[in-house]
Structure formats: C-alpha cells, structure tokens
Structure 1
Amino acid sequence: MLSGIQHMAFCERQWALIHIEQVWAENVRTVEGQNLHERADDPFADESRKTLRIIRSMPLVSHKLGLRGIADVVEFHQSKDFTEGETCQLQGRKGWWRPLPVEYKRGRPKPDDRDAVQLCAQAMALEEMMQVSIASGCIFYGETKHRETVAFDMRLRQYTAELAARMQQLVREGKTPRAKRGKRCSQCSLIEKCQPYWMLRHRSVENYLERMCSMEVDNL
C-alpha cells in the first residue's frame, strides 16, 4: 500500500508489523488522523469550478514503485495553454489541466520527510498514470490549519524510490526487522506490540545455551 511508505520512513519495523504481520493499535494520533481523512476522503464530494477540478479519494498506482493506494485530494488547475510534460486533458473537460496532489495530516509539520515521501509517492504515481511531471504538492495539517508546499526534488524522489524498494524486499523475504531504539518509539501506537526495549535486550538461544553449559562445567 502506498500509504505504508510513511510508516517505512518513520520506522521499518513499524511498517513490517502493520503490513506484513497485520498488527495494528489505535492511539489518540491515529484516531484524530482517521477523523480528518474521513472529511477529506469523501469520493462523492468532488468539486468543479470554472478553472479548478477537485477529485477526492482518487485511486493511484505506480508500477515503477510497486505501490497502489488512494490520494486524499488531487486538484486539477486549468491552464490556458498546453505545456508538454506538465499539463493533461480530463475526460469530459475542455482545455488543459495541471495536477496538484494534496495530502491531509493531523498535527503539524514533522522535522523529517515521513509526510513528504507519502506525497511524493502519490505524485510519482500520478506522473506515471497521466504522463506528466509534477514539481510540487501540498500537505494540509489539521493542527495549524495551513498548507505546506513540498517540492519534489531529486533527493526526495530518490529517497521515496529507495523506501519503496525496501518495502518490496521485506515483502519478498517476509521479514520483520529488529527494533532500533529511538525517540520515535514514544510516539508509536505499536510500542506495546513491538516491545522495542525487550527486543534490544534479546540474546540468541545459541548464546544462552553456551552460557548455561559453561556455568554447568564450572560447577562440576
């Protein structure tokens, strides 16, 4: 799922628990996020204005990234002229249009790229589907009630592609990565399921048996 790329950017163990082991848990952040998306993701609430077409819950697929999902909102802004590689046509609509993906998030902007990579993956899927190039998109944050513009530069595109490739690799291997302790653990809704601190103290069965055998020999 395309939405999983945000989990992968946050913590690949969290992503694997959700998307490979099908583990999930709610917290205040996830519930607030769902409520915000319910308002944005109404497929019957499309809007049409003279120079703007707003499509909600738009299905997306990228064969290059190996991802599929749903865009919260894709805005199509009408352009007076055709610009090769930037504008497209819409069925039943005259003229040329520039697509702009808009993602809705609770809270406020993050200090990292976890939200940006999800939006970038949506843009890359739109580019593949509509044969256009999209320079930027927007993230609307529920806490600030403000849109933040995200530029899809080469660094972000490469990072997005690397995360998608890592997701495919873990799916093929059916592997859940070991926990890596970090500040993000306190923000994770899966901390009780993940048990990162227990995992970090874990020792292999082989080492345990060797230690026990050594103790038995010493006691003889």
Structure 2
Amino acid sequence: MDEPEYLPLSWLSQADYCPRRAGLLLNERQWAESADTAKGRAEHERVHTNRVEKRGEFIKLYEFTVFSDRLMLLGKCDCIEAQRDETGCHIPASEFPVRLYPVEYKHGTARDEEEYQIQLCAQAMCLEEMFHTS
C-alpha cells in the first residue's frame, strides 16, 4: 500500500493567492521565478538555519518541521516562538511548559494578506496536534 501524500503547508497560501498558480505548482510542478521571488527566496534562506535560541524563559526554534496526520499537512515554520506558560505544552527544547506561536517571515512591506493568515493558522493547527495543546 502506498504511503499517503501530505500537502505542503506553503501551498495553502498559494491556493488562496492564486488557485491557477497553485494548480500549476501542485499538478504540473511548474514554477517561474521572477526577480522579486528570487530576491525573496534569497532573503528567506537566512532564516532556514535549523537552530534553537534560548533567552531565559523565551525560546525560538528556527526551521521547525510541523505536520498533521489528521489534515495531511507537512511543512516548516520559519520560526516557532515559545514563551513560558504553566498551562502550556512540553517541547524537547525546554525544561518548562510553553505556549507556542508560529512566525512566518515575508519579504518586503508587511501586508495583512489572507493567504498568510491561512498559512499561520495551518501551522498552529499542526502544532496543536503535535504537542496536544491549544
């Protein structure tokens, strides 16, 4: 029996932004990089260092893999911020319970775009399932 295929988290925001483009990415594996997307990708690569930063009761986990078996989603968060919270969950990088906050870094001017909110929401849902928290 074949393993089920998980949908990349980043494609949720692609689908909301432009369903046609998302279809080309998903079904045809087509991607045409523009000068803007190349610059954004290069700047985004600085985030992807797979490291942990600890400052007292505040922890940052960079390039953190998240998944949901229930939603069939898989991806990486640019950063997970973890703040000490006695009602929170336990993660391997911390000796104390924490509340988790996914963070996505985007290139350019900050915009309140729905597709970014969808991606963050999906990341939060993956974290909730992975760490049995809300």
- Per the normalisation by structure 1, the TM-score is 0.54
Residues in 2 aligned to 1:19 and 1:62: alpha-carbon distance in whole angstroms:
19
Matched to 1:69, the amino acid is G
Q: Structure 1, residues 172-207: CA drift from partner, whole Å, max 9, x if none? A: xxxxxxxxxxxxxxxxxxxxxxxxxxxxxxxxxxxx
Matched to 1:46, the amino acid is V
User: How many residues are treated as equivalent by the alignment?
Assistant: 127
Higher helix content, 1 or 2:
1
- Per the normalisation by structure 2, the TM-score is 0.87
Of structures 1 and 2, the one scoring higher in RCO (CA 8 A, sep 6+) is 2
Matched to 2:54, the amino acid is S
C-alpha contact (below 8 Å) 1:101/1:122 kept by paired residues: yes
Residues in 2 aligned to 1:104 and 1:53: alpha-carbon distance in whole angstroms:
17
The structural deviation recorded for 1:93 is 3.0
C-alpha contact (below 8 Å) 2:9/2:122 kept by paired residues: yes
Partner of 1:78: 84
Equivalent residue for 1:12, pick from 4, 15, 19: 19
Q: CA RMSD in A?
A: 1.5
Matched, 1:96 2:103: no
Matched, 1:21 2:32: no
Residues in 2 aligned to 1:111 and 1:42: alpha-carbon distance in whole angstroms:
26
Question: Which is greater in Rg?
Answer: 1
Structure 1, unmatched stretches of 5+, are 134-220
Partner of 1:53: 59
Runs of 4+ in structure 1 deviating by more than 6 angstroms, as ranges, are none
Matched, 1:33 2:40: yes
Structure 2, unmatched stretches of 5+, are 1-7
Matched to 2:115, the amino acid is R
